[in-house]
Amino acid sequence: MAMNNTKPTVAVYKFSSCDGCQLAFLNAGEALLQLAERVEILHFAEAGMLNEDVQVDIAFVEGSVNTHHDEERIRQVRANSRYLITIGACATAGGVQALRNIHDNGGWHQAIYAHPEYLDSLSTATAIAKHVKVDLELWGCPVNTQQVMQAVATLLHGANPAVSRESVCAECKRRGNVCVVVAQGQHCLGPHTHAGCNAICPHMGRGCYGCYGPQGVIYAGAA
């Protein structure tokens, strides 16, 4: 993506989430300070920059769409952004809260809240791409600093970031882990999960549980 001569502008938006993907920036240490030298961060509420309706070159979006207000907000964010990147499982797939989509959600708010009428809450939690065009999806629960910094660096060089099509299995083999499926008969989602975490679960002796989302063809069994 071609940038103007001035510093490219960046915004980080939060929707429904745990805030863990914004930590890819806030936990970046010195890299955060370096990033602030290379781009102008115009909106990032948790870091103290407030400018919700600003026009930016790159928008990072964390979290899923859960309220009517979210639906309006994400359209506005899209309209204000040249390049929109979703960060993490919530923004890219709905996240753990999207589990409620497959249950009878109607009764849940009633069961939990004494006053459900106070709430603005949709019956589903949905990915950003269900609502607006997304230019790049970064998977992960959470995404890590390297993923977001790499995306920014690539864009700053005028190229389109590419996301690896590998699965966790490939990372796991390269790390020299003993396969937890073959050696221990554990369940492992590694063969069908996007690479990106460096196979931390098999490395620690447990099966992958799919933080980086589905990769490749998945056989869900007979219908």
Backbone φ, ψ for residue 62 (5° rounding)? -105, 145
Site for other proteins in 95-124 (CB under 8 A): 95-97, 99-100, 103, 108-115, 118-121
Report residue 109 as tokens. 């708010």
With CB under 8 A as the contact rule, the residue among 9, 92, 126, 144 that binds other proteins is 144
CA–CA distance, 203 with 122 (Å, rounded to integer):
39
Residue closer to other proteins by CB (options 9, 144) is 144
With CB under 8 A as the contact rule, the residue among 1, 7, 14, 191 that binds other proteins is 14
With CB under 8 A as the contact rule, the residue among 9, 42, 91, 142 that binds other proteins is 142
Residue closer to other proteins by CB (options 1, 100) is 100
Q: Name the minimum Å distance from CB 77 to other proteins.
A: 14
Q: Name the minimum Å distance from CB 66 to other proteins.
A: 4
Name residue 104's amino acid: D
Whole-angstrom Cα Rg for the chain:
19
Beta-bridged to residue 193, according to DSSP, are 214
Residue closer to other proteins by CB (options 26, 170) is 26
16 binds other proteins (CB under 8 A): yes
Residue closer to other proteins by CB (options 49, 170) is 49
* Interface size with other proteins, residues (CB under 8 A): 58
Angle, helices 145-156 vs 30-38, to 10°: value is: 20
200 binds other proteins (CB under 8 A): yes
Q: Name the minimum Å distance from CB 102 to other proteins.
A: 11
Per CB under 8 A, residues contacting other proteins are 14, 16-23, 26-27, 29-30, 32-33, 36, 41, 45-50, 52, 66-67, 70, 95-97, 99-100, 103, 108-115, 118-121, 125, 141-142, 144, 197, 200-201, 203-206, 209, 211
